[in-house]
Homo-oligomer: A and B are copies of this chain.
């Protein structure tokens, strides 16, 4: 459909929460009781209900209402605009919505206002992809290098990557894109499962889940650590007993430790041969991560789900502070900023392994990783997407997993459209699920 004829006429914002804390799914050292939530945005168009942009930011419960309030402040950036007026200069749109001269004070480019921007920007990309009749990854893959790079705001990262360098990276992979697209359609994109080792699960449950995951074809696993070293060691033993030492096991401390503490703890946990330690300390501590990385080598460091913008990621690259870059589709302000980080990662030679789980993050990041493989990195080496097995049933186009791989999504859009029934039932605090509790 012609983008000029598509107009955003209304913006609907919903506070959607799932009571996941009731079952300790998602529990880790810092987040004992998350209620996976979404600040959910619907861009109504002059072609609604056939054509709407759906997007969200992910939070874990309390405070989701703050994010909803922040989205309200961003409505003027999309309401009563034609889709073409946005997609015609995506970098400018991104710059404007993240750079409002007054709202910017509340960040800049971080925290609640950045999450809110992510929700709106993701909804715009969903609408764009639906209007083009393509899944988002395909919309991105089909862009020329110039077009793709024109969607990115390079401010504050030009000392690390210029638009010209980004175009070169994309051009290098252009000729062989079709091969990789075909390969992906056949085999999917590798994933690892985090669903075996939440901190709130009993030893028996962990053991059983590991066995079930192996049986289902999973070959990459992640466990939570950081609560108590003896517990971590006992649980790591159990997991290694079941999965063996052939399969990669990752560990995730969810920011629990200080710098020295992380170094000490990981020296103890090294015997279980983790592929990486994730979030060993506070996500703002770039130099702390670099110190940990130097001290525990050859063990490797991963982080990113709380790294809040491209400027922070730039420094992680520059300081050699991690070996795995874990972009988050709604922590960074939507698709555009994720593209900036994916391209920087390629320049610095760091594999991107997106954070997923929560609600809808798996649905999102599969598109980013598939684009990354086909058009940017050209490689699956050391690359995999996180996977957790909850809440997919609420989406119209949920991820399809086969033997530990994400299958290529085919429906137009960014896979983030929730079922109308779910949007009703899980509305906080008036939805059925919360009223009846």
Q: Which residues on A are within 8 Å of B, measured CB to CB?
A: 30-35, 59-63, 65-67, 69-70, 73, 100-115, 155-156, 158-159, 255, 258-260, 281-288, 291, 306, 308-309, 311-312, 314-315, 318-319
Cα–Cα distance between A389 and B309 once the two chains are bound (Å):
35
List 26 A–B pairs whose Cβ atoms lie within 8 Å, in order of A's numbering.
Answer: A30-B101, A30-B104, A31-B101, A31-B102, A31-B104, A33-B101, A33-B102, A59-B106, A61-B102, A63-B73, A63-B100, A63-B105, A65-B73, A66-B70, A67-B106, A110-B111, A110-B308, A111-B111, A155-B258, A158-B258, A159-B258, A159-B260, A159-B291, A282-B311, A286-B287, A287-B315
- A287 with B111: CB separation less than 8 A: no
Do A315 and B286 contact each other (CB < 8 Å), given the known contacts A111-B112, A112-B112? yes
A100/B65 in contact, CB under 8 A: no
Residue of B nearest to A108 (CB): B306
Residues of B within 8 Å of A283, CB to CB, are 108
Residues from chain B with a CB closer than 8 A to the CB of A308 are: 110, 284
Q: Are B286 and A112 in contact (CB under 8 A)?
A: no
Interface contact B102-A63, CB-CB below 8 Å = yes
By beta carbon, the residue of chain B nearest A111 is: B111
| Chain A binding surface, main DSSP class | loop
* Complex-state Cα separation, A32 to B102, whole angstroms: 9
Chain B contacts of A158 at CB under 8 A? 258-260
Give chain B nearest CB distance to A270 CB in angstroms: 20
A156–B112 CB distance below 8 A: no
B residues in contact with A61, CB < 8 Å? 102, 105
- Closest chain-B Cβ to A348's Cβ sits at a distance in Å of 13
A66 to B117, CA, bound (A): 13
Using A66-B113, A69-B65, A260-B159 as known contacts, say yes or no to A287 and B60 having CB atoms under 8 A apart: no
When chains A and B are docked, how far (Å) is the Cα of A311 from the Cα of B312?
13
Q: Are A66 and B66 in contact (CB under 8 A)?
A: yes
Neighbouring B residues of A104 by C-beta, 8 Å? 30-31
Shortest A301–chain B CB gap in Å is: 15
| A171 CB → nearest B CB, Å | 24
